[in-house]
Amino acid sequence: MATMNLTAPSPCRDGLLAAAVALTVVSAALLAAHVSFDGDTFQHCRHLGPSARMYVTAWAGPLCSVAALVTCAGGIRRRGGAWPVVVCAVLGLLLLCVQVVALSWVYAPDPSGGYDCSGLAGLKR
């Protein structure tokens, strides 16, 4: 009777690890893209509001982070806390916290108080 090597990782487990790493990298890239699109809100001292690509990256980032955390949770449960899975989980959690703040900034009111770049909201009456 052939013996089975139970210590070798299965392709499914390696696939989960690869998916967790990929989702974490995509989540970080979406956060970087969202920050780079931050200049879309003002043009010639006029508040235009967030662009569509800011909304897309603000929502897609946390979704990828949550998917990475769910994948990492499955990997931790199956692998017993292997270090690559734990690193992805910690990075995914940190990214999720930052992305939730970025998402709240998308829905925040005009930071200039409706007076464009002047900042003289108290003097204009």
Is residue 38 very low, low, confident or very high in pLDDT (cuts 50, 70, 90)?
A: confident
Q: Dump pLDDT digits (tens) for 83-96.
A: 777 888 899 999 99
Does 64 fall in a domain? Answer: yes
What is the spatial distance between Cα 4 and Cα 111, in angstroms, rounded to a whole number?
63
- Number of domains within the chain: 1
In this prediction, residues 1-30 reach a mean pLDDT of: 73
Q: Which domain holds residue 39?
A: 19-43+58-106
Per the domain annotation, does 62 fall within a domain? yes
Total residues found in the chain within this entry: 125
